[in-house]
Structure 1
Amino acid sequence: MIKKLSQFLLLAFAPMTVNAAGTYYSANTYQSPQTRYNTQTYLQRQTGYTSQYSNNYYSTPSYASRYNTTAANNYSTNAQRSGMTASSATSSAANTSTSSKKSGFWIDAGVSHEFSQWQMEMNQSGSILSYDNVGWNVLGVDAGYSFDVGNTTMQIDAGLKYGMQWGESTMYDDDITNGGFLVTTWVNAEDNSEIGKQIGHAISIGTSQGGNMLGFNVGFGLTDIFKWGNVSITPSVGYRYLNYNLETETNYGLSVDTTACFEVNGEIQCDPAIVVNIGSDKQQIIWRDDINSPMEIPGGSTSIDTGSTYYYYQPGVSHSYDVTWAGPYFALDMDYVINQNNAVNGRIELGLPGYNATGDQPYRFDWAHPKSVEDEAGMFGAFHFGLGANWTTAITDSVALSIGLTYDYYSVSGADAKTYLNQNYYTTLYNNILTGGVINGVNYGSGYESEAAMLDPDTGNATAINIKNLESECPGWVCSIGSEIESFYKSMGIRVGVNAKF
């Protein structure tokens, strides 16, 4: 942290940590995904350096109880010919269906509609990014093969699903709910006493559409290893992969910087941050200690700056994320044969996947593109809980219809976060301050005779010092912090499908 800035400043401030919702770590600073670009204050609002700062599986009916078996049909026919009652024939058919050996190939194809939510939150800054009510239309195919090994029936299975986002959903990028983020600490240059903190608040709401998802799974199980009457249990282990892509367009936002706060009739009210420019090289924050006192403008003021207080609209893609959950699972499948034509099956699954979320925020000129941020937890670092249930009705000996419900919940706590900075932006700014002059309409002052002079903590340039510190804290212009991200994805769906065995 820089303790002293230029002596000729009336008020000095600690290097900025401009931030908005979806904030990401940058060295010891948190940076806003929305930085206002204004040539008049291009240097004043530099990014600073400061230490403050499903694969929603559906429960595929196991081969054990999906269909009215040929043996059952033959038994029923023979029973009727021999004078048995219909009720006793049905009962015997059910018993035959559950007790007979099952082996062979099966396939299950269907369509489903799912509603989901994905949210991530940063531990230290409290920033929240969420995609709500995301709809998916999904096509899924599962297949498996059951075979006997001695007296044990085993099975291998695999599944593939592809989904497209249905309709529009809402994304919100929230830096208000958890109280805001530190922008700058203002201090008096004469005695180095703290005046107060400038706090940023921001929220934006955008539209998400056109996303897609891809998932697959492979597994190995012991078919019907546990049985109780008409109920059979198949345990299995496997690997599950879920990836989805989400984008935000037409993003509307409001950013507000505040200074002194007061309690008024039980609510908290804060003054907007207003910085006064005095001449070409001096700044002063307007600050009052009493809400009834006027906000006085110092003499010699030439202009004012509202900092990061403004409304904004981003017509193009403002956010895009590619998220993956992938890892091992353990599952239990339950089959219950009601009669020769109908069965119910369910599934419970527990997994320990890894997590990776890569994001791009194209309007952030100070971040790298197309990969601006990345959050990651290794294998076994996340958690997955899944439930599924299906009702199946036989059409023929080998074909059945099914309808079912699914629920999935993925979560991760303490994932690591990285921010990829735009090296060209920072080095260009650094060199322009060193050489000075008017470049592309921006006045960089008279320049410095050497880097040492520019980086002098007493008389140097605060922006250049911040950039140098940022480069040191972020090797390769990649800023990292551990155990920073909390994230979850949850969904519910309804599915209709057709099963067939061979």
Structure 2
Amino acid sequence: MRESNKGKDFYMAKFPSFLLRAAVVAAVPVAANAAGTYYTGNYQSPQTRYSTQSYASRYNNTTQTRNYNTGNSSYASYSSSRPTVGTRTTQTTVARGQTQSASQVATSGTKKQGFWLNAGISHEVAQWQFEMKESKSILHYDNIGWNVLDVRGGYAFNAGKTKMQIDAGFKYGMQSGESTMVDDDITNGGYISDIFFVDANGNGQYDDGEEITGTQDGHALSVGKSDGGNMYGFNAGFGLTDFFQLGSVKFTPSIGYRYLKYKLETKNNHGLAVDSYTCFNINGETQCDPVLIFPIGNISSVPTRDNPYNYIQVPAGATMVNTAGTFYYSQPSVSHSYEVEWSGPYLAMDMDYQINNKNAVNGRFELGLPGYTSTGDQPYRYDWAHPKSVEDKASMGSAYHLGLGANWLTALTDTVFLTLGLTYDYYSVSDADAKTYLNANYYETELSRIKNGGTYTVNGYEVNYGTGFSSDEEMLAGSAAARSIVALKESCPGWTCSVKSEIKSFYKSMGIRVGVNAKF
């Protein structure tokens, strides 16, 4: 989201579609007042959320009233952007239930009764991605490296004629090197930034039946670096040792609970956002012009061209131009920060095959039904709350986890074994609910400035809010920006915007592990 200043005009590029009627528009050629369309209660584009509040955006004077020239026809909620925030940026690294690194199977081929302990180190390479359904935004972290230390122990015993075992494990990992974060508002077609229409009856707002002349579509892409992340997890289980056998392979079913938490941050984020209006098909390729908005009096003119080989004509009387949501941005400090948790029950099957007295192999299949929670902070969004800006959540059983592992063991002594293994984990959730926590002080301050009028310093720039209004009723009648904020407050009780089933996300990792297993 961006902001900028221009005399009495104040404009914010995107806002929920339910605020469309709050926008004020009049027409000239293709003149219209941009009524932002953050989908009602849905995420705005990630670029919008994460992008730096830009100087240019206050010139986006696409909506004005006859009483008060305020171009900010709306204030957007996280729900339409969340990575954008142009952010909701990131969920990230190793998904919680790696079968305690699936390679860490209880080496039942070498231990059938008593205590055992397994400790090792591993390196995992992972990818994490989440996607907003309504805003059509995708954010992913690629080639995440983890250096992991884990310890797992257990006790096998007989309960009458039944062999049983209990086990527990802990793991801690640190991010290795740098990974790349990509915030993509292009692949799925981008997001609707504004809607232009002709104010036929001159009442300063959109009414059913009025002509919609076009949409201002946002497209954005940013790339940042991630390092310094960490993760930890634990699990506990109960199983029936060697419960059945097929040929020479013995099977141990078990149930348990697994928890994983990881944190990723993005720094040095660079992005480019483009708002388009008119598009052409040229030799099978779609090419779109960036939108240009010309304020003329109390209206905004948005010129187009029918032929891509012609020039765009400047409307008569225009002396200024606004590039809307087309801008470059750079965010040197932390732009995204996410903490993600997966936790819930699992069913597992361990398989053991004794090759000879000194060597054995085992494998593990694990299926879990965890819950999912992701908490994010986007420090560049001053219109959001901090340190918790966004939260995605799915209840236990709403997500799933598949864990696979294979392990080879060779005896060093009668009680100590060297282990070498591979792990694979896949976590997925499809319908997580999303919340955006807005900065109440920011919005209340904006309402106060609009009502009282005057000049204020905003983000280091002076902004003129006009002459003000004598009452709340007069302010709501004369200011599209004020109507927009009030509508946002009503749709987001307690300044918290909620969207059901908005997020789908996956995490996958593959690792190699070396360890030592000892029995006592």
TM-score normalised by L of structure 2: 0.84
Query: 1:425 deviation in Å?
Result: 1.4
Tell me, in whole angstroms, the C-alpha distance in 2 between the residues paired with 1:142 and 1:252: 42
Asked if residue 148 in structure 1 is aligned to residue 169 in structure 2, the reply is no
Number of the residue aligned with 1:480: 498
1:392 aligns with 2:400: no
AA in 2 matched with 1:474: C
Aligned with 2:419 (options 402, 405, 409) = 402
Sequence identity (%): 55
User: Which of 22, 25, 30 is residue 44 of structure 2 equivalent to?
Assistant: 30
Query: 1: CA distance between counterparts of 2:105 and 2:484?
Result: 61
CA contact (8 A) 1:327 1:379 kept: yes
- State the partner residue of 2:133: 123
Q: Letter of the 2:103 partner, please give it.
A: S
Distance 1:199 1:236, change over 3 A: same
Kept in 2, the 8 Å contact 1:375–1:418? The answer is yes
Q: Where does residue 104 of structure 2 map in the other structure?
A: 60
Distance 2:412 2:299 in 1: 83
Over the aligned positions, Cα root-mean-square deviation in angstroms equals 2.2
Q: Measure the CA separation in 2 of the matches of 1:339 and 1:26.
A: 65
- Would the aligned equivalents of 2:37 and 2:195 in 1 still touch at CA under 8 Å? no
Match of 1:302, SS? Answer: coil
* Runs of 5+ consecutive residues of structure 2 not aligned to the other structure: 1-17, 61-69, 82-94, 202-209
Partner Cα separation in structure 2 for residue 362 and residue 13 of structure 1: 30
Deviation, 1:251, is 0.4
Cα deviation for residue 282 of structure 1 reads 3.4
- Residues 105/284 of structure 1: CA separation in 2 closer, same or farther (3 Å cut): same
Offset, 1:147: 1.0
**Partners of 2:367 and 2:375 in 1: CA distance:** 25
Cα shift at 1:14: 4.8
The answer to whether the 8 Å contact 2:34/2:73 transfers is no
Q: Which has the larger radius of gyration?
A: 1
Counterpart residue number, 1:355: 372
- Report if the CA contact (8 A) 1:29-1:48 is conserved: no
Structure 1 residue 8: Cα displacement:
6.6
Q: Is the 8 A contact 1:202 1:255 kept in 2?
A: yes
1:343 aligns with 2:353: no
Deviations 1:371-394 (A, max 9, x none): 111111000000000100100001
1:188 aligned residue (198, 201, 207): 198
Do the aligned residues in 2 keep the contact of 1:49 with 1:469 (CA within 8 Å)?
no
Look up the match of 1:330. Answer: 347
Q: What is the alpha-carbon distance in structure 2 between the residues aligned to residue 342 and residue 7 of structure 1?
A: 78
Q: CA deviation at 1:449?
A: 1.9
**Number of matched pairs:** 458
Pairs within 5 Å for 1:246-285: 246-279=264-297, 281-285=298-302
> Separation in 2 of the partners of 1:147 and 1:284?
81
**C-alpha contact (below 8 Å) 2:238/2:254 kept by paired residues:** yes
8 Å contact kept, 2:22–2:35: no
Give the C-alpha shift of residue 38 in structure 1: 2.0
1:73-472 equivalences under 5 Å are 102-190=112-200, 192-279=210-297, 281-440=298-457, 441-456=462-477, 460-472=478-490
Tell whether the 8 Å contact from 2:403 to 2:425 is kept in structure 1 after alignment: yes
Tell me the SS of whatever aligns to 1:13.
coil
State TM-score, norm by structure 1.
0.87
Structure 1 or 2: more strand by fraction: 1
Whether contact under 8 Å (1:27, 1:470) holds in the other structure is: no
**CA separation in 1, counterparts of 2:253 and 2:200?**
73
State the shift of 1:29 in Å: 6.4
SS of residue in 2 equivalent to 1:455: helix
Deviation of 1:444 (Å): 0.8
Q: Aligned AA for 1:407?
A: Y
- Which residue number in structure 2 is paired with residue 498 of structure 1? 516
Residue 15 of structure 1 pairs with residue 35 of structure 2: yes
What is the distance in 2 between the residues matched to 1:109 and 1:49?
50
After superposition, what is the alpha-carbon deviation per residue over 1:79-118, rounded to whole angstroms, capped at 9, x for unaligned? Answer: xxxxxxxxxxxxxxxxxxxxxxx31110000000000001
Amino acid of the structure 2 residue aligned with 1:232: K
Amino acid at match of 2:213: I
Consecutive unaligned residues in structure 1, runs of 5 or more: 19-24, 68-101
Q: Give the match's secondary structure for 1:452.
A: helix
Counterparts of 1:5 and 1:413, CA distance in 2: 34
**In 2: Cα distance, 1:29 partner to 1:333 partner:** 42
CA contact (8 A) 1:26 1:480 kept: no
Q: In the TM superposition, what is the alpha-carbon distance from 1:17 to its structure 2 partner?
A: 4.1
Which residue type is aligned with residue 240 of structure 1?
Answer: R
Q: What is the distance in 1 between the residues matched to 2:186 and 2:25?
A: 35
Distance across 2 between alignment mates of 1:414 and 1:13: 35
Deviation for aligned residue 1:48: 3.7
Distance 1:445-1:288 versus aligned 2 partners, 3 A rule: farther
Which runs of 4 or more aligned residues in structure 1 lie more than 6 Å from their structure 2 counterparts after TM superposition?
A: 49-53
Following superposition, the deviation at residue 184 of structure 1 comes to: 0.6
CA contact (8 A) 2:181 2:223 kept: yes
Partner in structure 2 of residue 90 of structure 1? none
What is the CA deviation profile of residues 211-243 of structure 1, one whole-angstrom value per residue up to 9, with x for unaligned ones?
A: 001011000000111124432110000001111
